[in-house]
Structure 1
């Protein structure tokens, strides 16, 4: 996988619009970040550190961030009806991640990483 476009093109058809939206929101939230693909997953890198990454699975997508970002916005994630792990938030086409929450998570991850 060489780039975000290729990754999205290979994702399940029903998840592609969701991935495009996540990519656009992360790009807006992290305008100086470089788009990279590491560990077969697209992400946004600042100064050599991955600030946010995303991925598609068979029925859902995931947004991957720093542990501090997930902790800082845990209540907002729960209020949106989404599930979080230590470093990720899962969402689907039926229950997408709100744009505002996605942007705040990206900013919180960057802050947590000191970038």
Structure 2
């Protein structure tokens, strides 16, 4: 991550992406497009200094670092795809995709679709109460 990304307040995902070298920008745009294709109604924002998508609550986040791309589908998104994600380094609610491997865009899409459904189901339950 460039030194100035951590300290500057980013106003948009575009601003965030522009801070990285071209090859990283391309990967970040692919991830962004993948998320948008599954959740076109999601609001783009910056949370915790990284790109975030919200749809009936927090949906997913992503970020670029020196060696991996961090993807944050909340703990339930990690749990739902535990087997497919097992080949990647993980934390609670996060996974790291190495930059020297192809980005698993289909897996990202599946995870986003799961999170969209999960948030929609939660929103419906709140309406029923």
Higher helix share: 2
Shift of 1:15: 1.9
The one-character-per-residue Cα deviations of 1:3-53 (angstroms, maximum 9, x if unpaired) are 111101112444221111110101111111011111211111113x22011
| CA offsets 1:43-65 (integer angstroms, 9 cap, x no match) | 11113x22011001122211111
Q: CA separation in 2, counterparts of 1:39 and 1:66?
A: 14
Query: What is the aligned residue count?
Result: 112
RMSD: 1.6
C-alpha distance in 2 between matches for 1:26 and 1:43: 10
Distance 1:96 1:66 in 2: 22
Query: Which contiguous aligned blocks of 4+ residues in structure 1 show a shift greater than 3 angstroms?
Result: none
Q: Which runs of 5+ in 1 are unaligned?
A: none
CA contact (8 A) 1:12 1:58 kept: no
So what's the TM-score if we normalise by structure 1? 0.86
Larger Rg: 2
TM-score (norm 2): 0.78
